[in-house]
Every structure is written in structure tokens, then in C-alpha cells.
Amino acid sequence: MARHALRTHEFKVLLRLLQRDPAVRVGSHRDLRRFLHEVHYLLRTGIPWRDLPRRFGYWNSLFRRYRRWCLAGVWERLAAACAEERAQPCRMHLDTTHVRSHPVSVGARRDQGGQAAQAQGRSRGGFGTKLPVLVDAQGGLLSCCRTPRQAHDRPQAEGLLEGV
């Protein structure tokens, strides 16, 4: 089995959860499994959409379906349903990563929310964003958010813990 392939039991859990979602048209199980495998491959490897291997078909078709699911909130509902299915974690881990931004990338217009809408902040190291995440003992995502770089971690940790 390929390293990035969905296992049968994983697909069955996802299929059961997706069949309950009214925004998802499941169609054939084979096509759905292929789509989920392609998205899983893309997210695991981190490659750009246009660099997807040809065996997955045309990248834009996959992107459009993925984007429709994003706009419909399918991925958020799927993540929440998977989190509910898991047993309550006995241990949680909080980690924050810093993402640096080029000064040109933080020029958001004020009428569109400005830098606050992009969660861009300026610290002594320059412009950037913090991405605090809360995971369970198995590494499953429990909660995440996006904050300006100069924001302290403690208020974010309290907010992440309240969401669990």
C-alpha cells in the first residue's frame, strides 16, 4: 500500500460521516475514495495544485471540488465529526509556529479589514503570523487559530482550550 493511500477502515469512517452531510453528493464510492486519496496526498506532501501527478487527472477539476467543499464547510464538519468519534484525549499538546511574511504581502486595504483581517503582526523579527494548534496524544487536530506575530501565546492557549 502506498505511503499516502487511505486505508480501508479510514475510508469507511469518512464515508459514513460524509453520507450524513447534506452538502455532499457521495456518488460512486470509488470516485469518492479517489478524490479523498488525492486530497490526502496533496496535503501530506504539500505540493502545489499544478504539480499533482498526472495519474490524479487534471489538477483544476480536483481543485474546484476541493474548493466547493471548503466553501460549503464540509471539511470543518468532517474534522468536527472525526474529533467527536475519537475518545476523549488524556493528554493534549499545544504548539505554535511562526510564519514570516514579506513586507509587500501585508499591504491589505483598510476597507477590507487591513492587517488584522490577515492576522498579520509586526514584531522585532518583522511581519508575520502565528499559528497555534492544539492536538491530542495521537496527533489529531483538536483546535487551531491564526494570530498576529506579536500576540502572546497564553490568551490563544486559553481560547484553544475553550474550544475543546
Number of domains in the chain: 2
Query: Is position 3 within any domain?
Result: no
Residues 38 and 76 in one domain: yes
SS3 101: coil
**CA separation for the pair 79, 100 (Å, rounded):** 27
Helix (H), strand (E) counts: the chain = 6, 5
Task: Quote the cell numbers at residue 123.
Answer: 514584531
What integer pLDDT is reported at residue 64 of this predicted model? 92
What is the full per-residue pLDDT of the chain (164 aa) written as tens digits?
A: 566 677 888 888 888 888 888 888 888 888 888 888 888 888 888 888 899 888 888 899 999 999 998 898 888 888 888 777 665 556 777 777 767 665 555 555 556 555 554 555 555 556 677 777 788 777 777 777 777 766 666 777 777 777 66
Q: For residue 63, what pLDDT is reported?
A: 92
Residue at 152 is within a domain:
yes
User: Are 66 and 115 within one domain?
Assistant: no
Q: Which of 85, 115, 150 is where one domain is finished? A: 85
Q: Residue 73: which domain range?
A: 8-85
Q: Using an 8 Å Cβ cutoff, are 5 and 37 in contact?
A: yes
Asked if the structure places residue 134 within a domain, the reply is yes
Q: Is 1 within the bounds of a domain?
A: no
Give the per-residue pLDDT at 85. 66
The grid cell for 94 is 499545544
CA atoms of 32 and 96, how far apart (whole Å): 33
135: nearest Cα among 91, 79, 76: 91
Q: Are residues 126 and 65 in the same domain?
A: no
Same-domain status, 33 and 99: no
Residues 80 and 140 reside in one and the same domain: no
98 φ, ψ to 5°? Answer: -105, 135
**Cα–Cα distance for residue pair 55/34, rounded to 1 Å:** 11
